[in-house]
Structure 1
Amino acid sequence: MDLPPSPDFRPTVPELLRTAAERWGPRDCVVTPTERMTFAQLDDRSARLAAELATQGIGKGSRVGLLFPNGVDWVIAWAAAARLGAVTVPVNTFYQATELARFLRHSDLQVLLGVSAFLHHDYVARLEAVAPELAAYRYGGPLLLGSLPQLRRISLTGSALPVWASRLSVTPAPPRVDGGLDAVVTAMGEDVTPADPLLVTYTSGSTGEPKGVVHGHGPLLTHAFNLGALGGIGETCRIWTPMPLCWVGGFVFGLLRALTRGACFVTQETFDAGTALRLLADERVTDVAAWPGVTKALLEHADFPSTDLRALRAGLYEAVAPDRRPPDPGLAIGSLGMSETCGPHTFKTAAEEAAGAPEAYRGTFGRPVPGIEHRIVDPETGHDLPEGAEGEVLVRGYSLLLGLHKRDRATVFDADGWYHTGDRGYFRDGWFFFTGRQNDLIKTGGSNVAPAEVESLLLADDEVKLAFVVGVPDEIRGERVIALVVPSGGVAPVNRLGSAEPSGLARDGAALGESLRGRLRGRLSSYKIPQHILPITDGQVPWLVSQKVDRRALVALARRLLSDQVTA
């Protein structure tokens, strides 16, 4: 696999927006079921909003939060802040008040731009729950909050806003102020360099504490450009993804791959299979980027057989023409990536995507992206392992994160600049094979869940004595989030394994699980809430000699309990 030519523009957002408008101005840039925006409109609207933001003191290094669902407004607000040199910090729209409070305090946001409400989320009420002093505000001007000491301004869309929030107009964009201000915005963009930080994306760490991954303009745009080139993305392509833009999957593999290659980015605020199928057909989508659960929903929808998907060339095996896909879906080549590497660090070319892996390499996750180095090491000794031996995956290269927010570099990288991914795998003849995770982090449906975060809330419940959260393998979501709890009040397990309690008590155990799930709602994002909470006894907890719990044994126990429920 050869490294594609470097981008033929200076890899900064201001330069990308200017170049894209010149080359592809009238072409579709972003499309949703209800909106459409061209490359020229993105450049113009983001410049107008940037002028407004500049008058509010936002500039190079300012930390600007983006609280929007996928769509045109998200892209305009991001581009406007980024072209001024601000550090953009996407906010997860799923965050409940406790999660939002941790995020806002850790991220040091100075400005928050966003919507006042989305679906059932009332962000005005949620922000007042995070910072109770907001409710007492009786005047405008810069915010001074003891709970969020760095935050100075909150600008929201919507009507009937509280006095502490200024009104934000993203689309249609506010009018230009004057030519002099336009010149200032242009000059501010010229000061942005590829080495400057562009994005802080938050992902769950293994401890459950906020983990802000910092990426620069150059690495993000160059990697997105390279991934697009390797995958055959060009100006005639239309990439659809429902993955949230607040995560690297949607942002890099969706939006930036399209922007840097002149392709159209097609997305939805929320995923609905029927709407998605109509969008795929109407927009002649060529590339799908989605999790297995999403593709399964598309395939199982009643409209799938009658939907015209002949334009599709990648991402949805069953809909791609036979001459554009491997003869066997088991030969489809995967990829492995993470927030810290700007997305995939193993990948495949467009030709490999169509042909599939050689039979001898069935199940491969591709080959290293050129410019990214890999090592497979023994996690205990740190020594390199021979080809074919499974160990921890280390990465180093141009797309690697600049660092973690509020973390010393020495705690992020080793002495030689390698990043320890926590993933396990091995190489064979240059092809990579992924075998699992080194640590406890659960990956479900493209999202990271830290067991410690969920366990801490369960342990705070009076009915719970011990709590353990694990990921159980699932062919659709990757892993399912499952909790095992030892009840404090003697509630019986929900199964017969290791227990002789009568079925009436077992029903009490099932009721406890549902009750605990109900109490987690409103405190955790929905994807973090365990799909099942299974009561167990003290004697079933698999303790090691070190007095640590055996996580692998917990996973095995959870699988047996779930199977026992099905057969009971």
Structure 2
Amino acid sequence: MPARPTFPDHRATVPGLLAHGRDNFAESECVVTPEERLSYSELESQSAVLAGRLVACGVGKGSRVGLLFPNGARWVLAWAAAARLGAVVIPVNTFYQAPELARFLHHSDVQYLLGVEAFLHHDYLDRLESAVPGLKSSEAPPLHLESLPQLRRVLLWDEPERPWAEGGLGAALEGPTQPSELAAVVQGMGEEVAPGDEALVTYTSGSTGEAKGVVHSHGALVRHARNLAALSNIDHTSRIWTPMPLCWVGGFAFTLLRALSVGGCFVTQEVFEAGAALRLLERERVTTVSAWPALGQTLIAHPDYPKVDLSALRGGSMYEAFPSDRRPPDPGLVVSSLGMSETCGPHTFWTPGEEVTGSPEAYRGSFGHEVPGTEHRIVDPDTGVDVPEGDEGEVLVRGYNLMLGLYKRERSEVFDASGWYHTGDRGYFRDGWFFFTGRMSDLIKTSGSNVAPGEVEAALLGFDEVKLAFVVGVEHPQRGQDVVALVVPQPGPADLTPDDLRRRLRDQLSSYKIPRQVFFVADADVPWLVSQKVDRRALAAMAAEMVVAEGPT
């Protein structure tokens, strides 16, 4: 692991990143989907046109711009257009149901919402009208809503079917040439963007059930992407595929920005389907897979897997698909990495050679070394005192890639007096190698997504037939954890079934938050501590036994 970080040789801002791509990799592909191809020169020029449209609508430096797009060129262009103006980009989770969307829009203070009308079975116009009281009866923008006072405009890629929305973002790319005066304004606004300016607010579940907005600067995003590219041997010849949503750090910072930082190609799909993904990996000669282990196993288990040519693979975690000369002899010895939204992705990482050759047996299960430019402490969570090397404690982190803070939270609420962020993760270092041992909170990590038990419990308790509800994570070999609910029904006759609850939750929660299994338990069987708090460890053990008895889904 190098002692010093690798940072870009251009200005560490999104406008600087776009100009670097145009000047050095103009005709190279930067974004590819099954239906789209976008070069670096097209990304720079088309995002400038879109930026001009945004300026004409009132977007300026510091404006809060939400993105409601699936993965693909539209997401990337809209992000680049807003970010190059110095606007703060706030990705919207495409899985959000109306109650989640309402909470998100209220907390994030989105002023300009860019997106599509619908995606898969999600009708976003109907969902917005359900989430925002008064929107349905609104006329032409700008909007002035008592229920959402910050929102001014909803700008859609295509022509809208509602008077309160504006359309034609996509048509702007095919229209007449942008006036030179507007192009000059866009260029000038980009030159005013500084590395320390806010660039992104990404939302992630907190342990209390309330989503938190993680604020990152241009400098942190652009520098960390370049540093991670160097650590993982990503360069201009790399073609990185991911199914991870761009609304999360794993898809955006760790994959898209890592590719853009060195002139590589970002390959993705709007919807993950294993057979289509395998065909895309073969067609595009993908070199690196960036995905959760469970998705890699899904690809390998697909009947088309033996038929496709994946010989271009040289990086990522799908070791079984590597050519034999690049495959680690024991994948269990290959170290991993640990990251989070608050650090733009990984803050511990593995060295490139270890990705192929493995590490000593003594370090099986390690999450690598600390990323150059970051610092760690392992402390006793009760006293805050550093523990001896090799002892487990809470992980503290700080460095160039650490967030500016949490939206609407004071700095003293987020960082300690010395600037350390207390992650809530447990672990230890041994001879410079980091080992992760778990979370200090009840947060559930399922297939790379954070699920706060309190949020799911609140949704279950919203049903009249539910007296008590407890949500825990149960270990799963591929997904990490599964969301499992233990429910005490209200007394009296009822025809309520677990499937009924799961079906009704679909209108309240994103699909990944819905419990895979729901078990009914008696009131007397709920384990309580002497403090009159529920015994979460006993609940988790009870749920695990029930999953084993019934069989996992």
TM over 0.5: yes
Shift of 1:325: 3.1
* Comparing 511-520 and 31-40, the one that deviates more: 511-520
Shift of 1:387: 1.3
Letter in 2 for 1:9: H
Provide the secondary structure at the position in 1 that maps to 2:136. helix
Provide the secondary structure at the position in 1 that maps to 2:261. helix
Shift of 1:144: 0.4
Shift of 1:171: 6.5
Q: Work out whether residues 373 and 399 of structure 2, in 8 Å CA contact, stay in contact via their aligned partners in 1.
A: yes
Deviations 1:167-199 (A, max 9, x none): 032377144331121111111000000000000
Matched, 1:144 2:144: yes
Q: How is 1:548-559 mapped onto 2 (pairs within 5 angstroms)?
A: 548-559=533-544
* Comparing 177-186 and 61-70, the one that deviates more: 177-186
Letter in 2 for 1:383: V
Shift of 1:351: 1.2
Provide the secondary structure at the position in 2 that maps to 1:177. coil
* Comparing 289-298 and 188-197, the one that deviates more: 289-298
Provide the secondary structure at the position in 2 that maps to 1:167. coil
Q: How is 1:534-549 mapped onto 2 (pairs within 5 angstroms)?
A: 534-549=519-534
Letter in 1 for 2:470: F
Shift of 1:27: 0.4
* Comparing 343-352 and 24-33, the one that deviates more: 343-352
Paired with 1:166 and 1:542, the residues of 2 have a C-alpha distance of: 54
Provide the secondary structure at the position in 2 that maps to 1:261. coil
Contiguous gaps of at least 5 residues in structure 1: 492-507
Q: Which position in structure 2 is the counterpart of 1:502? A: none
Q: Work out whether residues 113 and 168 of structure 1, in 8 Å CA contact, stay in contact via their aligned partners in 2.
A: no
Paired with 1:306 and 1:132, the residues of 2 have a C-alpha distance of: 52
Provide the secondary structure at the position in 2 that maps to 1:223. helix
Q: Which position in structure 1 is the counterpart of 2:320? A: 318
Paired with 1:287 and 1:490, the residues of 2 have a C-alpha distance of: 56
Shift of 1:160: 4.7
Letter in 2 for 1:516: L
Matched, 1:50 2:35: no
Paired with 1:436 and 1:33, the residues of 2 have a C-alpha distance of: 38
* Comparing 231-240 and 201-210, the one that deviates more: 201-210
Q: Work out whether residues 378 and 384 of structure 1, in 8 Å CA contact, stay in contact via their aligned partners in 2.
A: yes
Shift of 1:512: 2.0
Q: Which position in structure 1 is the counterpart of 2:206? A: 205
Distance change (3 Å), C-alpha of 1:458 and 1:252: same
Match of 1:329 among 328, 331, 353: 331
CA RMSD of aligned residues (A): 1.4
Q: Work out whether residues 541 and 549 of structure 1, in 8 Å CA contact, stay in contact via their aligned partners in 2.
A: yes
Q: Which position in structure 2 is the counterpart of 1:384? A: 386
Q: How is 1:114-125 mapped onto 2 (pairs within 5 angstroms)?
A: 114-125=115-126
Contiguous gaps of at least 5 residues in structure 2: none
Letter in 2 for 1:129: S
Paired with 1:292 and 1:531, the residues of 2 have a C-alpha distance of: 19
Structure 1 runs (4+) greater than 6 angstroms displaced: none
Q: Work out whether residues 243 and 291 of structure 2, in 8 Å CA contact, stay in contact via their aligned partners in 1.
A: yes
Q: Work out whether residues 323 and 354 of structure 1, in 8 Å CA contact, stay in contact via their aligned partners in 2.
A: no
Paired with 1:31 and 1:160, the residues of 2 have a C-alpha distance of: 26
Q: Which position in structure 2 is the counterpart of 1:182? A: 183
Tell me the TM-score normalised to structure 2 length. Answer: 0.97
Q: Work out whether residues 325 and 353 of structure 1, in 8 Å CA contact, stay in contact via their aligned partners in 2.
A: no
Provide the secondary structure at the position in 1 that maps to 2:497. helix
Shift of 1:132: 3.1
Letter in 2 for 1:134: L
Q: Which position in structure 1 is the counterpart of 2:546? A: 561
Tell me the TM-score normalised to structure 1 length. Answer: 0.95
* Comparing 272-281 and 512-521, the one that deviates more: 512-521
Distance change (3 Å), C-alpha of 1:349 and 1:175: farther
Q: How is 1:383-462 mapped onto 2 (pairs within 5 angstroms)?
A: 383-462=385-464
Paired with 2:551 and 2:448, the residues of 1 have a C-alpha distance of: 26
Shift of 1:361: 0.4
Paired with 2:424 and 2:210, the residues of 1 have a C-alpha distance of: 17
Deviations 1:55-112 (A, max 9, x none): 1111100000000000000000000000000000000000000000000000001100
Q: Which position in structure 2 is the counterpart of 1:170? A: 170
Paired with 2:100 and 2:423, the residues of 1 have a C-alpha distance of: 24
Letter in 2 for 1:164: W
Paired with 1:155 and 1:539, the residues of 2 have a C-alpha distance of: 53
Q: Work out whether residues 204 and 341 of structure 2, in 8 Å CA contact, stay in contact via their aligned partners in 1.
A: yes
Deviations 1:423-454 (A, max 9, x none): 11111111111111100111111111111111
Letter in 1 for 2:412: A
Provide the secondary structure at the position in 1 that maps to 2:375. strand
Provide the secondary structure at the position in 1 that maps to 2:435. strand
Paired with 1:141 and 1:172, the residues of 2 have a C-alpha distance of: 19
Paired with 1:5 and 1:112, the residues of 2 have a C-alpha distance of: 35
Paired with 1:296 and 1:171, the residues of 2 have a C-alpha distance of: 40
Letter in 1 for 2:132: A
Q: Which position in structure 2 is the counterpart of 1:241? A: 242
- In the alignment of these two chains, the number of paired residues is 549
| Identical counterparts, % of pairs | 63
Paired with 2:176 and 2:292, the residues of 1 have a C-alpha distance of: 40
Q: Work out whether residues 351 and 368 of structure 2, in 8 Å CA contact, stay in contact via their aligned partners in 1.
A: no
* Comparing 53-62 and 377-386, the one that deviates more: 377-386
Q: Which position in structure 2 is the counterpart of 1:26? A: 27
